[in-house]
Amino acid sequence: MQNWYPGDAQGRGGIYNFVTKRGDCRGARSKISWTQVETGSAITWKYPSCILRGEASRGEFYSIAISNGHQQVDSGTKMIHLGRNTTSRIISKGVAAGKSQNTYRGQVSAHRLATGARNFTNCDSLLIGQECGAHTVPYIEAKNSSAVIEHEASTSKVSEEQMFYCLQRGLSAEEATALIVNGFVRDVLQQLPMEFAVEAQKLISISLEGSVG
Amino acid sequence: MLEIRNLSVSIQDKLILDNLSLGVNAGEVAAIMGPNGSGKSTLAYVIAGKPGYEVTSGEILLDGDNLLELEPNERALRGVFLAFQYPTEIPGVGAMTFLKAALNAQRRARGESDLTTPDFMRRVREAAQALKIEQEMLRRPLNVGFSGGEKKRFEVLQMALLGPRVGVLDETDSGLDIDALRIVADGVNALRDPARAFVVITHYQRLLDHIRPDVVHVMSRGRIVASGGPELALELERNGYRDYAEEAA
Amino acid sequence: MNAHVVNRSAAEKTLFRQFAEQQAREPSPVRAAAFARFAEAGLPTRRVEAWHYTDLRAAMADAAPVLAAPTPADIKAARLRLARRERFAPGAQLVLLGGRYIGELSDRLPDGVTVTEGAVLAVPVADPLAALNEALSPSGCTISVARGAEIAEPITILHLADGMSDYSVYSRSAIALNAGARASFVEVFEGAQARVQRHSATIMTLAKGAKARHVAVVGDEPGLHIETHVCDLAENAELEAFGLISGGDLTRRQIFVRMTGDEAKVSLGGLALIDGDRRADTTLQVVHAAPRGTSREFYRAIVDDDAIGVFQGKIIVERAAQKTDGAMKSQAILLSPRAQMNEKPELEIFADDVVCGHGATVASLDPEQVFYLRSRGIPESDAKAMLLEAFGGESIDRIEDELLIEALRARLRAWLGSRM
Ligand SMILES: Nc1ncnc2c1ncn2[C@@H]1O[C@H](COP(=O)(O)OP(=O)(O)O)[C@@H](O)[C@H]1O
Ligand SMILES: [Mg+2]
């Protein structure tokens, strides 16, 4: 969970967060699961990756990336399938607000010997406000006919009906947004241990402060 | 006619059918009942030759020939018909295109010429009417957008057109309301013939009220654990599978 | 001219020489500017994002000599071939021989359609090969459809290649639909063999409320086929485009669509049938620049043997393009353990009130489906052919023209039949 200083109102002085993380699944049925909640820093470049070498090894990447103000987030993962029957799953939820730019960038490759490899990727983006941007850049590379790779992505804004429903029940626009965003990222929050999930939820609400109104 | 001897089958090293033996005579309807997961569908698939199952022992004879040595389409040409529990959806392949391809494959195997289009249309129309299948449904891609009941009726339609030696019906009753069940059962009954056998897999007595079985087998944990007449099905309906599940344990 | 680019490849050096020779014959500042844009970038490598999976610099050993204008004898020979040839689609046909429009080989056009020869200019797209085409192509022709004209039958643009020698051929055509016009165009590429390098560009402009269909059929066997299709749509204009690739060693279709006017509608599709050691790359860039635009992209590929398929699709939604509705889907089936497919579907979104998505899958034929068909007595090879025809056919069927669907499906069946 990353919540470093994102800079002042103009985005000045924020932390640059450039991270390399790589995991190597060497043994049969070994597993690596990366779960991240990225809310801070002025610029984040972060691609926690898995090299799936062991037979039937598994890589997972669950990500929530929230950007607000002038933040720029460019994050995602690489799933490199080298071994037989390796599987991977990528769930990425990006939320862009303010003047921020939020990019998912990921690579899934199934190499020649990775027979029976399977990947499922879902990356959804939510836009809040008219000055932000959300981008999705997946690289899919299948070098093996028994691999099955499925990728789906969507980008939309907070639904007006959902918003109205919440407002009508007396929530403020900000509360409503936080509620809806928490719903949007739920698939990933569920991957977190209970205490973290509670923290993450609060963090998301704080990160989005001032994004509506 | 159909003779299964000491059949053991595993999937990914897990034993699913355990030294199973079963015989069905020409003209007979054999019912197979058993709890979920007992291996009924696996048996049906192995008879039809679905890839992915490892037969570790035994044989399946149809009129004395070992089916296990044949490809799935060769088995179909010998007269094996499986009505799938979950018929596969095939987008882009029209139901009619498919029916014609299947019928003609069988005709060619018998050294007959392909059906003319009017002849083919007439046969399909007749069979469809009997099963109350709308012409409109036949214009759709194969099994795509069919309701559960429509899929099952379409399986029976295919069986009627292909006229198999042995029809294996895997839970053809599930998902059918009472009217559809009667239509499907009538369809099957119309095909009963001294030269033809049926294996009817079901959970419920309900279907067997309409398709009267000659013998009833109870399956549990990959084996036939009891066999008897139609009264066995009634007993199962009252008492459930509990007694048999324990027996196999 | 570019001090920072030190190592020019053999092909690049040849291209520089070819361009210098052309400038010496007929100097043109417009071409010089286009060539400068090419020279700036050079032949693309993997480092150029839009060419990430097709390293043209590595693939192009050299640039073949530029083909001269056809002689009267060439035209006569072409006339004989045309007489024997079966047409892909009904309707009038324009013939491009050696990249040049040849009036005497072409049909009379229906009322409301005119063709004029002369330089085809375009708003440049940021692509080195599009720039190269502008620099080296003969002047080309513009097909215009009059305001409100509705042209019933498709108009075919036949790119006819000829001969057995090494050459590169450049062509450039423009298609302009005036307000409210409706017309359908088929570009058929024919007759090229492995030593031909073909560079073709088609620039479409659709004025307010115009509706166009564009179908490209690449079925011959050039060593290199680079096709750039640029389309700009004004308010309420609609484009339906489809591309079939079933031949060529290295084929690249690059499509740049820009929806400049409000409520424009785009439906793009394609089918790539790739076998042997061919490579086929389809790359799209769809820019929503105005509000309430709709775009649909639906691409499929069947890849066999040692072939490599590429699909890249980028949907860009600019800030002004509120209420954009964009959906892209690309699906590939790999038939051989050595076949490869690379996909890069991208969304780049700067407007908030949008619904955009993409899906991409790569898999083999579904074994459940193969089994279902076989369980009804259909032999394995027939079952697979049926499924492949269905898979490819679904992309073709989205075209709203029965005759074109049938002609394209016939090509698909022929391709499947030649392999089974
Ligand atoms: N493809 C498969 N992979 C792994 N296990 C399977 C597969 N198909 C069936 N099984 C297992 O085999 C057993 C029998 O399943 P099935 O034949 O479908 O039973 P039934 O039809 O009697 O409900 C179950 O335990 C099921 O989980
Ligand atoms: Mg079952």
pLDDT digits (tens, 9 = 90+) for C182-194: 999 999 999 999 9
**Alpha-carbon gap: C54 to the closest alpha carbon of chain A (Å):** 13
Is C326 within the bounds of a domain? no
Indicate whether C238 and C99 sit together in one domain: yes
Nearest to A145 among C322, C335, C356 (CB): C335
Angstrom CA distances, C233 to C202, C209, C217, C266, stand at: 14, 9, 23, 9
User: How many Cα atoms within 13 Å fall on the side-chain side of residue B93?
Assistant: 23
Nearest ligand, CA of residue B222? Answer: 1
Number of domains in chain C: 2
Number of domains in chain A: 1
The string of pLDDT tens digits covering residues B176-210 is 888 889 988 999 999 999 999 999 999 888 889 99
Closest Cα to atom 13, ligand 1: which residue?
B37
Binary contact (A155, C345; C-beta < 8 A): no
pLDDT > 90? residue B233: no
What's chain C's length in residues? 420
pLDDT band at A170 (very low <50, low <70, confident <90, very high): low
Which element (helix H / strand E) includes B94? Answer: strand B90-94
Closest Cα to atom 16, ligand 1: which residue?
B39
DSSP strands (E only) in C237-383: 238-245, 250-259, 265-274, 279-288, 294-303, 308-317, 325-334, 340-349, 355-363
pLDDT > 80? residue B117: yes
Round to whole Å and give the CA distance between C43 and C61: 11
Number of domains in chain B: 1
Domain extent at residue C211: 10-261
Pick from C242, C261, C280: which residue ends a domain?
C261
CB C334 within 8 A of CB C362: yes
**Residue C350 near chain B (CB below 8 Å):** no
Chains A vs C: touching, with 3+ CB pairs under 8 Å? Answer: yes
Round to whole Å and give the CA distance between C307 and C391: 18
Q: Which pair of structure tokens corresponds to residue C208?
A: 């307010």
Indicate whether C37 and C181 sit together in one domain: yes
Q: Which residues of chain C from 352 to 371 reach within 8 Å of chain B, CB to CB?
A: 366-369, 371
ipTM of the predicted assembly exceeds 0.90:
no
Binary contact (A157, C354; C-beta < 8 A): yes
Domain extent at residue B25: 2-248
Of A151 and A205, the one with more pLDDT: A151
Is C130 within the bounds of a domain? yes
pLDDT band at B32 (very low <50, low <70, confident <90, very high): very high
Is C398 within the bounds of a domain? yes
Is A206 within the bounds of a domain? no
Is A209 within the bounds of a domain? no
* Residues within 5 A (CB) of ion ligand 2: B 41, 85
By three-state DSSP, how is residue C388 classified?
helix
CATH of the domain at B237: 3.40.50.300
The string of pLDDT tens digits covering residues C35-63 is 999 999 999 999 999 999 999 999 999 99
CB A52 within 8 A of CB A115: no
What mean pLDDT value characterizes chain B? 90
Between β-strands C340-349 and A133-142, what pairing exists: parallel, antiparallel or unpaired?
Answer: antiparallel
Is A23 within the bounds of a domain? yes
- Radius of gyration of chain A, Cα coordinates, nearest whole angstrom: 18
Calculate the CA B218 to chain-centre distance: 17
pTM recorded for the entire structure:
0.86
**Alpha-carbon gap: A173 to the closest alpha carbon of chain C (Å):** 17
Amino acid type, C304: D
Average pLDDT estimate for C246-254: 97
Residues of A in contact with C384 (CB under 8 A): none
Residue B61, number of CB atoms within 10 A of its CB = 15
Q: Is ligand 1 within 6 A of the CB of residue B39?
A: yes
- Mutate which: A107, A145, A146, vs C, most C CBs within 10 A: A145
pLDDT band at A5 (very low <50, low <70, confident <90, very high): confident
Residues of C in contact with A148 (CB under 8 A): 361-364
Residues of C in contact with A139 (CB under 8 A): 52, 342-344
Amino acid type, C280: A
Indicate whether C383 and C257 sit together in one domain: no
Q: Is ligand 1 within 6 A of the CB of residue B202?
A: no
Pick from C237, C261, C285: which residue ends a domain?
C261
pLDDT > 80? residue C161: yes
Q: Under an 8 Å CB criterion, which residues of A touch C? A: 112, 115, 125, 127-157
pLDDT > 60? residue C5: no
Average pLDDT estimate for C388-406: 96
Indicate whether C76 and C217 sit together in one domain: yes
The string of pLDDT tens digits covering residues C321-370 is 999 999 999 999 999 999 999 999 999 999 888 999 999 999 999 999 99
Nearest to C376 among B50, B51, B162 (CB): B162
- Per-residue pLDDT, B249: 42
Domain extent at residue A102: 16-158
pLDDT > 90? residue C216: yes
Residues of C in contact with B91 (CB under 8 A): 390, 394
Q: Which residues contact C281 (CB under 8 A, 6 or more apart)?
A: C53, C54, C250, C251, C252, C253, C309, C310, C311, C312
